Structure 1
Amino acid sequence: MPELPEVEGVVRLIRPAVEGRTVQEVTVSETVRESKAGGKDAILKRITEDAFIEEMTGATFRSVERRSKYIYFMMEKEGPFLFINHLGMTGAWFHVEALDGIREEKFRRHVHIVFTLDDGSLFVYSDIRRFGEMRLLQDESGYPPLLLMAPEPFGEDALHHFLDMSNRPKYARKPIKEVIMDGQVISGCGNIYATEALFREKIRPDRQAGDLPEEQKTALFRTVSSILAESIEAGGSTISDYRNINGESGSMQHRLKMYGKKQCPDCGAETEKMTIGGRTSVFCPSCQK
């Protein structure tokens, strides 16, 4: 699943491609139409395909921002509204002149939303597993989970928020790995970067959050934010299906020391796995205590 750095990389490339552009035409795939006809709310959440097409046709992309792992498109059409996108597991955006400009066949075969822009170019959403989400809202209050997201992880307010939340009974008894992956506690930290941060701080992923002293939790938070910032500059991590809108991969995966590793790079011990919060956690049983 694309995490904060990958989404930030996508947003930085989306901005010059779509800001100021107006949607001339919208196409929704037959796959999405058939899925919704069968009672599944595939990609387009709480809106019909035809209503989505009607609302987006003639709308202008005013600005594009990232909030945690969400992409916020600020739109204008007889007034402002929000177009929210979450990439899910395999969502990807492409800005091309024609669909054959998408280089990889697996993404071409799973194109689900196509916006034809006023310069003739195509702004294309592909999603192999269709776990991504699109919502049209008047503001964030139209989808309450957005209001619960933690502050962006690069400021002191985010550290104070993390320390406060991690001490609450709801989180204090949970494994620290699960806590730092919770978007209401730290914004945008998923499995990859949680694994790396815990390894760098030599903390076992199953340690209860309430057992960690504040000094150690502060160091862990700063490491999480540092790794996220490092990954943004590296273009994110490409583990399987992440691509930016030019179809390019990130390079942060080459810097990862623990995620997906079978041997600890520091002590040479064989790594172990456990499941925490439904995700596989890799750790060094010797270095991480």
Structure 2
Amino acid sequence: MPELPEVEGVVRALKPVVEGKTIERVALSDVVFASTNAGKQCIVKNIEPHLFEEVLAGMIIKEINRRSKYIFFTIEKDGEDFVLVNHLGMTGAWFIVQDVLEITEVKFRKHVHAILTLNTGELLVYSDIRRFGELRFVKQIADHPPLLQMAPEPFDEDACGFFLAQCAKAKYENKPIKEVIMDGQVISGCGNIYATEALFKMNIHPGRKTNRISRARKIKLFEAIRVILQESIDTGGSTISDYRNINGEAGGMQHRLEMYGKKVCPTCGNATKSMVIGGRTSVYCSNCQK
């Protein structure tokens, strides 16, 4: 699943080539319509697909921003602002092309679910192989309450204090630290990859209960998360499987990962172990992480 660095990379790539342009028309895939007809909403949420296509036509893309793992497209028509909220899910990706056939990887080309034709003739294409992502049209962020529950950005001044306060709450203090730091209401944008790396860097076992980690060590853990997220942003994110930027290019952070997906600990040479925490497989070194 794309985490904060990968989503940041998509936003940075989209901004200079999409902001200020007008959406002339929108075409959704047959899969989107079929899922709605079957009583399930696939990709397009909280609005009927035909209406989604209709309301976006003529909208100007004023600004694109990231918040946690979400992409916010601020769009405007007749002086009125709206927001198109996008979550990439497990395998979502955006492409800017003249023709869908320019998407080089077949797996993305076969799973195109939204094509936004811009006034420049370019196509802003959303592809999602596993279809866990979403496109949500709202008047304002407050119209989708879960978006208001996100923790501060990890680079914000108050983010560490917020993290410490959340860790002290009864709902978190007895949970494994790995589960806590992957919770978007505790730290924004830190998923399985970077939680694994930060815990290894700090020699903390992913299953250790949060209340068994000192305040000083929690602060250092938070700093480690911040450093790793920034390093990943700087190297274009991690392409483990299906993450691509808008040009179809992979990131480079996967070559720097020390524990995620590894069979052998790079520090002691012991075989790594794994356990399921918060529904995700956690790889760790039982010798180095306590």
TM-score where L is the length of structure 2? 0.99
1:255: which partner in 2? Answer: 256
Q: 3-state DSSP class of the match of 1:239? A: coil
Q: 3-state DSSP class of the match of 1:155? A: coil
1:196: which partner in 2? Answer: 197
Could you list the per-position Cα deviations for residues 46-65 of structure 1 after superposition, in whole angstroms to 9, with x for gaps in the alignment? Answer: 11111101110000000000
Aligned-residue identity in percent:
58
2:170: which partner in 1? Answer: 169
Could you list the per-position Cα deviations for residues 108-128 of structure 1 after superposition, in whole angstroms to 9, with x for gaps in the alignment? Answer: 100010000000010000000
C-alpha deviation, 1:170, in angstroms: 0.5
What amino acid is aligned across from residue 229 of structure 2 in structure 1?
Answer: L
- More displaced 10-residue stretch of structure 1: 131-140 or 216-225: 131-140
Q: 3-state DSSP class of the match of 1:156? A: coil
1:125: which partner in 2? Answer: 126
Distance 2:264 2:109 in 1: 37
What amino acid is aligned across from residue 147 of structure 1 in structure 2?
Answer: L
- More displaced 10-residue stretch of structure 1: 148-157 or 169-178: 148-157
Alignment of 1:73-88 (within 5 A): 73-78=73-78, 79-88=80-89
Distance 2:31 2:166 in 1: 41
C-alpha deviation, 1:80, in angstroms: 0.3
Matched, 1:183 2:195: no
Distance 1:234 1:111 in 2: 27
What amino acid is aligned across from residue 117 of structure 1 in structure 2?
Answer: L
Q: 3-state DSSP class of the match of 2:14? A: helix
Alignment of 1:98-113 (within 5 A): 98-113=99-114
Distance 2:134 2:29 in 1: 15
1:231: which partner in 2? Answer: 232
Distance 1:137 1:33 in 2: 19
2:16: which partner in 1? Answer: 16
C-alpha deviation, 1:155, in angstroms: 2.6
C-alpha deviation, 1:72, in angstroms: 0.3
Listed as ranges, the gaps of 5+ residues in structure 1 are none
Q: 3-state DSSP class of the match of 1:236? A: coil
Q: Which runs of 4+ in 1 moved over 2 A?
A: none
Could you list the per-position Cα deviations for residues 238-274 of structure 1 after superposition, in whole angstroms to 9, with x for gaps in the alignment? Answer: 0000000000000100000000001100001111100
C-alpha deviation, 1:5, in angstroms: 0.2
Could you list the per-position Cα deviations for residues 164-183 of structure 1 after superposition, in whole angstroms to 9, with x for gaps in the alignment? Answer: 00011110000000000000
1:218: which partner in 2? Answer: 219
C-alpha deviation, 1:223, in angstroms: 0.3
Distance 2:40 2:278 in 1: 25
What amino acid is aligned across from residue 185 of structure 1 in structure 2?
Answer: V
2:90: which partner in 1? Answer: 89
What amino acid is aligned across from residue 47 of structure 1 in structure 2?
Answer: I
RMSD: 0.6
Distance 1:182 1:15 in 2: 28
C-alpha deviation, 1:156, in angstroms: 2.7
Matched, 1:4 2:4: yes
